[in-house]
């Protein structure tokens, strides 16, 4: 008689096999783009060309997301939430363009976007042999990590050409089984051209975030500038709009369910190739702890913002980021449970172990891998909660700088071959070049609040597990007694430190460790003590990563040999291609979601409270049905957002969505709530990309903003 557990495993395996047969899963690296795509009306070779003249040559790693060139004058289409910091930093209580929107009719009216960077891919190469030649499987885990970090740093440093604006970035594929070096032209003069008012660009706010149906006009336009010779340059009044080799046309034909669409973008990170041990610890430990921390940080920032509208505006970007992360992590927890992902992974691993047992050769080769991976996870997570509270002190922005300054003072006297990753000369040079931009909008009292909260949480762990630096602050006080001590200590530190002054902090990078000690700066003194704790944490992490660099590639090789499994590499912020079709989904029994929303739906969602206040002008346009040429004849309305089965994740925000002819039909900005587990597991029945329809973009530009000059710059087809 088959036991219930065996039935569950069999059912899960059959379910997984069925999904694989139906799936269109794929964040394809550029050298793995499918040679045949049904319905594509251009040649697959037009998608990516090494000389940059293919469609991919118009796509940028843009700020925290993705953008695409849409004119021959460096105009970029991206999301409102990607451009958010540029809009926020140019807003004041007296001229709040975040609230009312912005449009520059001429180049001279465009606003600087300090802190923004745009990276254009100019080439890539497989550097696996160069990286792995530095190690052997017998090398100890920590030394393996260090050796690989050194080789990565060497290749990145050699690929850098500051004069030409070139930078290199090495990424690992398949947990370190292979490595690629991507080379970028990095632009630093980015300017804001157009942003809709927040009531359009962020309609629905956090309530609608990750949800469908969606009615958000999440788009903005920015422009890339360069020196007159065409090379990237810092902001200068004499800079000119960049002339890209290729830019993307825009379709005005509209979309229909079933239409082929595809996306190029820069997805941040997925974890689909991990084992059940990773899922178990993330589901039960990492994400619940991160949710708790994010909730507490949000409470502190919101309370600080209540003091003054100017402070609230200053903190808006940080809050938006934490809210997005919070909702994402909550959705992931729900997704782990709803998909029963742990059981699916365990079933797959059980099937792998059963099959290798049928051949002595396989058993000898692969039987020890999964037990070794399990032990590595158990060891790494033994003190995870304490370690994460120490590590997350980096969310105190000025303290993150103090940690780096203090660490750099000690690392820079070492030969580069002996330094920690992140502290090579070229890396610190990059940090110093970008330092002032990172500090724009800095608000020290918010930082002090976060530091107090983090230290209080550390004080709540058992006294014998407290890190040394905390014992120096609170001695043997219990958590309730320590709260007042911590508050007084942090207030004193922030009162006396010089690091809150941006220029003063930047100067500290050039001082020696002895010179820093002579300053007696309390934040730097704390940073020295915390860095010791972080170095211990990093050593544990390096042991873990070093073991995974051997074990996981062996496991992937075993899956391929034994099970015939061939998987795509997880996303890693390199340019990826994905395709699918316009289609809805059925989230639960008797509920079906259509793939398109309309302007009528925007009006129907209106309430007399944020975030569902529809601008009066939009009400008027809808009442008069003043849609001009931006109506979808099938819907008999202006389309707003649409769903597709394209496979994306964070970092794809702002990615162009293109039709079969290679014309922009939308701008991707979100995934759906039911498929937040997409970073860990692709479910073709539920995984959807949410994009703003380009017809809504054009409608808002034309009828709402009268942005004739901007529309005239676009290649409409």
Beta strands in 57-165 (DSSP E): 59-62, 65-69, 75-78, 102-103, 111-112, 118-126
**Strand partners of residue 65:** 62
Q: State if pTM tops 0.95.
A: no
Low-confidence ranges of the chain (pLDDT < 70): 1-24
In the prediction, which pLDDT does 20 show?
36
Positions annotated as catalytic residues are: 81, 218, 653
In the prediction, which pLDDT does 424 show?
94
The domain ranges of the chain are 28-117+188-271+570-713, 386-537
Task: Yes or no: say if 175 and 191 are a contact pair by the CB < 8 Å rule.
Answer: no
Residue 189's CB: how many other CB atoms inside 10 A?
24
Task: Yes or no: say if 301 and 613 are a contact pair by the CB < 8 Å rule.
Answer: no
CA distances from residue 243 to 76, 110, 246, 512 in whole angstroms, order as listed: 12, 17, 8, 44
The two three-digit tokens of residue 527, written as one number: 């940073």
**Strand partners of residue 124:** 182
Q: Tens digit of pLDDT for each residue in 343-401?
A: 999 999 999 999 999 999 999 999 999 999 999 999 999 989 999 999 999 999 999 99
Q: Closest by alpha carbon to 56, among 656, 647, 717?
A: 656
Neighbouring residues of 662: CB distance < 8 A, sequence distance ≥ 6: 41, 42, 46, 55, 248, 249
Task: Yes or no: say if 346 and 18 are a contact pair by the CB < 8 Å rule.
Answer: no
Query: What one-character-per-residue DSSP string does 84-99 give?
Result: HHHHHHT--SSS-HHH
Give the whole-angstrom CA distance, residue 672 versus residue 537: 35
In the prediction, which pLDDT does 307 show?
93
Q: Tens digit of pLDDT for each residue in 387-433?
A: 999 999 999 999 999 999 999 999 999 999 899 999 999 999 999 98
For the chain, counts of helices (H) and of strands (E): 27, 21
- The continuous run of DSSP H or E covering 664 comes out as strand 664-671
In the prediction, which pLDDT does 565 show?
81
Neighbouring residues of 464: CB distance < 8 A, sequence distance ≥ 6: none
DSSP classification of residue 582? B
Mean pLDDT of the chain: 94
Residue 108 phi/psi, 5-degree rounding, is -70, -20
Give domain 28-117+188-271+570-713's CATH architecture.
Answer: Beta Barrel (2.40)
The two three-digit tokens of residue 288, written as one number: 């619940």
Beta strands in 96-230 (DSSP E): 102-103, 111-112, 118-126, 166-173, 178-187, 189-195, 220-226
Cis, peptide link before residue 611, omega less than 30° from 0: yes
């Amino acid at each position: 008689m088959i036991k219930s557990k065996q039935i569950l495993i069999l059912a899960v395996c059959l379910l997984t096999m069925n999904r694989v047969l139906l799936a269109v899963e794929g964040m394809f690296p550029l050298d793995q783009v499918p040679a045949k795509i049904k319905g594509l009306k251009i040649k697959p070779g037009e998608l990516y060309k090494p000389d940059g003249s293919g469609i991919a040559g118009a796509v940028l790693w843009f700020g925290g997301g993705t953008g695409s060139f849409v004119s021959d004058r460096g105009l970029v289409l991206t999301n409102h939430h990607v451009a958010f910091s540029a809009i926020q930093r140019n807003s004041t209580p007296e001229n709040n363009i975040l609230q009312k929107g912005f449009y520059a009719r001429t180049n001279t009216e465009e606003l600087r976007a300090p802190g923004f960077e745009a990276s254009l891919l100019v080439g890539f190469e497989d550097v696996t042999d160069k990286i792995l030649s530095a190690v052997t499987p017998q090398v100890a885990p920590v030394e393996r990590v260090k050796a690989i970090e050194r080789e990565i740093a060497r290749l990145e440093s050699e690929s850098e050409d500051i004069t030409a604006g070139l930078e290199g970035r090495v990424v690992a594929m398949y947990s370190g089984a292979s490595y690629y070096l991507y080379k970028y032209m990095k632009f630093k003069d980015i300017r804001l051209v157009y942003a809709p008012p927040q009531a359009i660009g962020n309609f629905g706010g956090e309530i609608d975030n990750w949800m469908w149906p969606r009615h958000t006009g999440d788009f903005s336009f920015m422009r890339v500038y360069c020196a007159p010779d065409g090379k990237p340059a810092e902001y200068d009044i004499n800079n000119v709009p960049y002339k890209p080799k290729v830019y993307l046309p825009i379709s005005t034909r509209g979309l229909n369910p079933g239409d082929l669409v595809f996306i190029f973008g820069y997805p941040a990170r997925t974890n689909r190739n991990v084992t059940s041990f990773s899922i178990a610890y993330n589901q039960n430990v990492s994400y619940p702890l991160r949710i708790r921390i994010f909730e507490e940080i949000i409470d502190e920032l919101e309370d600080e913002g209540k003091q003054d509208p100017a402070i609230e505006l200053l903190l808006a970007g940080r809050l938006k980021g934490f809210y997005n992360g919070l909702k994402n992590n909550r959705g992931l927890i729900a997704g782990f449970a709803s998909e029963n992902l742990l059981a699916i992974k365990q079933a797959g691993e059980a099937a792998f172990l059963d099959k290798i047992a049928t051949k002595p050769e396989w058993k000898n080769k692969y039987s020890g891998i999964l037990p070794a991976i399990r032990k590595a996870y158990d060891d790494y997570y033994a003190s995870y909660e304490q370690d994460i509270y120490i590590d997350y002190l980096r969310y105190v922005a000025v303290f993150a700088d103090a940690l780096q300054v203090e660490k750099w003072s000690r690392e820079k006297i070492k030969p580069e071959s002996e330094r920690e990753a992140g502290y090579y000369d070229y890396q610190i040079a990059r940090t110093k070049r970008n330092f002032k931009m990172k500090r724009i909008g800095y608000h020290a009292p918010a930082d002090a609040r976060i530091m107090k909260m983090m230290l209080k949480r550390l004080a709540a762990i058992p006294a014998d597990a407290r890190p040394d630096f905390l014992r120096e602050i609170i001695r043997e006080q219990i958590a309730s007694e320590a709260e007042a001590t911590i508050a007084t200590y942090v207030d004193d530190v922030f009162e006396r430190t010089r690091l809150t002054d941006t220029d003063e902090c930047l100067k500290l990078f050039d001082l020696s460790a002895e010179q820093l000690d002579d300053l007696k700066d309390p934040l730097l003194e704390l940073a020295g003590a915390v860095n010791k704790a972080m170095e211990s944490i990093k050593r544990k992490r390096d042991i873990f990563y070093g073991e995974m660099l051997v074990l996981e590639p062996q496991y992937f090789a075993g899956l391929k040999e034994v099970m015939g499994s061939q998987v795509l590499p997880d996303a890693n912020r390199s340019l990826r291609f994905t395709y699918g079709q316009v289609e809805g989904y059925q989230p639960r029994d008797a509920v079906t979601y259509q793939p398109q929303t309309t302007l009528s739906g925007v009006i129907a969602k209106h309430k007399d409270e944020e975030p569902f206040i529809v601008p009066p002008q939009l009400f008027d346009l809808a009442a008069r049905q003043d849609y001009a040429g931006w109506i979808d004849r099938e819907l008999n309305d202006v389309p707003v957002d649409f769903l597709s089965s394209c496979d994306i994740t964070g970092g794809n925000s702002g990615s162009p969505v293109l039709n079969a002819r290679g014309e922009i039909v939308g701008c991707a900005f979100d995934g759906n709530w039911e498929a937040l587990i997409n970073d860990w597991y692709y479910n073709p029945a539920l995984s959807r990309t949410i994009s703003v329809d380009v017809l809504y973009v054009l409608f808002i530009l034309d009828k709402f903003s009268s942005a004739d000059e901007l529309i005239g710059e676009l290649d409409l087809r």
